[in-house]
Amino acid sequence: DAMVIQNPRYQVTQFGKPVTLSCSQTLNHNVMYWYQQKSSQAPKLLFHYYDKDFNNEADTPDNFQSRRPNTSFCFLDIRSPGLGDAAMYLCATSRDAPGQASGANVLTFGAGSRLTVL
């Protein structure tokens, strides 16, 4: 009964070869997030969608793009992966919008997609 599902779990790509990671959720949550996490580092927020409203973090490279065609699905596109983009990519959802004062804003994560760049 996985609620946030990421595919693929492991992705190997070549330097510069585009990659798409997918995330689906059965929680009917309004917000979907993409995080990048490198070894021994905190998860780093790349961007999030509140419904169809896209919110990019200021320091997210242009190389990273996202699409959310419907409530259930969200995609992370890495247009030209570099060696420094090798990481675990975590999708997460929350019921409430990040800026709301009320609500738990608790994140539910998927199991992650581990990207290796050769």
- As a whole number of angstroms, the distance between CA 118 and CA 115 comes to 10
Site for another protein in 74-113 (CB under 8 A): 88, 90, 97-101, 104-112
Of 37 and 63, the one with the shorter C-beta distance to another protein is 37
Asked if 55 interacts with another protein (CB under 8 A), we say: yes
Q: How far is the CB of 49 from another protein (least distance, A)?
A: 12
The one among 43, 66, 74, 117 contacting another protein by CB under 8 A: 43
Residue 14: which residues within 8 A CB-CB, separation 6 or more? Answer: 117, 118
Q: How far is the CB of 112 from another protein (least distance, A)?
A: 5
CB neighbours of residue 61 within 10 Å: 13
Asked if 45 interacts with another protein (CB under 8 A), we say: yes
Beta bridge partners of 25: 4
Q: How far is the CB of 6 from another protein (least distance, A)?
A: 9
Asked if 32 interacts with another protein (CB under 8 A), we say: no
Q: Of 19, 13, 37, which is closest to residue 110 (Cα–Cα)?
A: 37
**32-58 as b/e, with b when 16 or more CB fall inside 10 Å?**
bbbbbeeeeeebebbbbbbeeeeeeee
Q: Which residues bind another protein (CB under 8 A)?
A: 33, 40-43, 45, 48, 55, 88, 90, 97-101, 104-112, 114
